[in-house]
Structures are given as C-alpha cells and as structure tokens.
Amino acid sequence: MNRNTVIVGLIFSGIFLSIVPMQFIYAQNLITEKLDTIKNATEDAVGIIENTTKSAITAGATIAKNATEDAVGIIENTTKSAITTGTELVANATEATTEATESAITTGTELVANATEATTEATERIGSQCYRSHYRSH
C-alpha cells in the first residue's frame, strides 16, 4: 500500500468516525425531543381529564342541588296550598254554620212570634166570645 492510500484511508476514517458520533447525537436529540413532546402531550391530556372531571363533578353537584331546591320549593308550595285550602274550607264551613244557625234562630223567632200572635188572637177571640156570651145571658 502506498502512503497516499493510507493517508486517504485515514482521512476518510476520520471523517467517518466524526460523522457517526454526530449521527448518534442527532438521533439522541431527536428521540429526546419526541419524548418531551409525548411527555407534554400526556401532561396536557392529564390536565384536560382533571379539568373535565372537576367540571363534571361540579355540574353534577349543581344539578343535584338545583333539583333538591326545586323539590323543596314544590313541597313548600304544595304544603302552603294545602294549608290555605284547608283554612278556606274551615272558614267556609264556619260561615255556612253561622248562616244556618242565624237562619234557624230567625225562623224559630218568627215561629214563636207567629205562635204568640196566633195565641193572642185566639185568646182575644175566646175572651170576646166569653164576654158576649156573658152579657147575652144577662
């Protein structure tokens, strides 16, 4: 082998040996970059899942709270309505009883007055007949 061939061989070997480690470094950097991208995407996905889960829990709790408040409101309104209706029914029954009692008292008073008047008229007639009969016999 001649000297020039050896020199050229050494030069190419040096170039090759300097390129191969650079390729490894480039590949290592590329893999690190891809791993960082995967790590960041995974962290983003975890954050999205956490936020979505928190939002779902909050929304579910809000829906349950609102439904409970609505149910309580309906029960309160129904109870108030039932109490009002019951009170109105008692008031109506009391009024009807009062009117019936007043009517009975008025009717009874009228009947007593009529009976008293009839008794007075009958007594007066009897007295008048007795008086006439007494003076006719004399």
The yes-or-no verdict on residue 3 having pLDDT over 90 is no
87-129: pLDDT as tens digits: 999 999 999 999 999 999 999 999 999 999 999 999 988 888 8
Dihedral sign for Cα 57, 60, 64, 67, please: positive
Per-residue model confidence (pLDDT) at position 96: 95
Residue carrying the six token digits 């408040």 = 69
Among residues 121, 124, 99, the alpha carbon closest in space to that of 113 is found at 121
42-72: pLDDT as tens digits: 999 999 999 999 999 999 999 999 999 999 9
Q: What is the pTM of this model?
A: 0.46
Per-residue model confidence (pLDDT) at position 8: 64
| Ranges of H-type helices in the chain | 3-137
Distance between CA atoms of residues 127 and 115, nearest Å: 18
